[in-house]
Each structure stands twice: as structure tokens, then as C-alpha cells.
Amino acid sequence: MTKPLVALLSGAGISTDSGIPDYRGPNGLWRRDPDAEKLVTYEYYMGDPEIRRRSWRMRRENRTLGAEPNAAHYAVAELERSGVPVRVITQNVDGLHQLAGMPARKVLELHGSAHGVVCTGCRARGPMEDALARLEAGEEDPPCLECGGILKPATVMFGERLDPEVLGQALSITKACEVFIAVGTSLQVQPAAGLAGVAADHGARLVIVNAEPTPYDELADEVVREPIGTALPEVLRGLGR
């Protein structure tokens, strides 16, 4: 008997137990400091050197790069190791699914990765840690070493479009899966949020694990409001059985 394909869409809520704050929750970053949104908005970032300097300072202080996976990330990797076909579509840029043991080829990062940088001019890429080392050495807004262009994190900022190839793969997986689990996501940011609706339309069992209500709850076969660190492992154990 073949095991059903499980697609898991993860948002910021899966990583809060790892010490990474979410954005839109009751205590989320955007609610506490609406101005912080400018630091990750492409237009402001490209047009204002002071915003860029603040953005780099934020990354120096950011806990994302030093974060460790939590029980929810490990539970996903464990399900994959048990022989259930699992694909992760993540809105997160923290790389914690891979750190927990999910093969990188089975993780689609819709919003890019905080572990890299990319030049907005020549598109050269490099590790974030190299750029942060240059900050420590005194550069406030490190330019690209290849062409002198503006460097930015290899994440999708507000005002940038998602990589159409990654989005296309996410859509294919969503249409093919038999179980679609949305975990720790407000399901408010399109086009990622729309994947939950696509999964339901294609007959997948839709499970939503999130502290707050989402626009897709009424389509779901199951809505779980319990803390993710305990609720997701329980849901996934049920699938494994």
C-alpha cells in the first residue's frame, strides 16, 4: 500500500519555539514596530542608505542564524525518515527544517534564505556570515565585492516577486498531495496562502495548526489551536500510523 504524499506549508509560528519572533501574531514584529517593515521592503531598502544600514544592523542582532530546530521541525523530519513521502513548502527563511534533518531537495523556500546574500546588480551570491563579518570589521552597508552593487539578503522582500520556478514546484506538490498541513501561518500572505485553497480544491485533506483563526479554517477538515510544539508532532504521529 503506497503512503499518501504529505505537503506541509510552514510559517513563522513553527519557529517561535526556536526563539524567532513571528510577524503578524498578537506580539508579532510588525505589530510592535510597524516601521520595521520598511527594513525588509525592497523600494525603501534600495532607495535609502540609512534604511540599508539599519537593516544590516538588525541582521547583526538577529537570532535567526543562531537558532536551533524545535520539536515541530524534528517531527517533520522524523515523518519523512519513517518512509512517508513529505514535501515542505516554507514561508520561513531560517533553514531550520533542513537543520532538523529534512533533505534540502525536499524543502521549498518560498521566501528565500537568511543564510545567504545576493547582489541586486550582478546577482552574485555569497554566505550571509561573510557579509556579517564585514559589518563587524566596520562596513555599515557592505557593497558587492564583484561589481560594487547593493547587496541584500537572499530573502524575498516586500515588493519583490517570488521565484516563479519555486512557486510552480509548490503548486505542483500542492495539487498532487493527499494531505496538506498548514502550520504556524496566518494564511494571509498571497500567493503562499492560496495553496491551502488549491489543496482543498484538489481533494487533499486540509489540516490547519495555528494559534489564531485563518481565512481558510472553514475549508479545513481539521483545525488545531493547541501549541505547535506539541500539537504538530501529535498530528504527524497520527499520519505515520
| Rounded average pLDDT per 10-residue block, the chain, 241 residues | 88 92 57 74 96 91 82 97 96 96 97 95 96 95 96 94 95 97 93 95 97 94 95 91 69
| Start-to-end C-alpha separation, the chain | 13
Q: Cell for 25? A: 501574531
In this structure, the answer to whether residues 176 and 58 fall within a common structural domain is no
Same domain for 57 and 75?
Answer: no
* pLDDT at site 63: 62
Whether residues 54 and 99 fall in one domain = no
pLDDT of 65: 77
pLDDT, residue 32, reads 59
Do residue 85 and residue 141 come from a single domain? no
User: Is 78 in a helix, a strand, or coil?
Assistant: helix
Sheet architecture: strand order including 179-183: 107-109, 86-90, 6-10, 179-183, 205-209, 222-224
- 115 among known catalytic residues: no
Q: What phi and psi values does residue 155 have, to the nearest 5 degrees?
A: -115, 155
CATH of the domain at 132: 3.30.1600.10
Same domain? For 100 and 213 the reply is yes
Q: How many domains does the chain have?
A: 2
9 and 33 housed in the same domain: no
Considering the candidates 73, 97, 111, 115, report the single residue annotated as catalytic. Answer: 111
- Cell triple for residue 239? 499520519
User: What are the Cα distances from residue 33, in Å, to 8, 36, 37, 91?
Assistant: 30, 5, 8, 21
pLDDT of the residue at 22: 65
**Is residue 91 located within the same domain as residue 197?**
yes
CATH code for the domain of 212: 3.40.50.1220
- Domain span including residue 149: 26-62+116-155
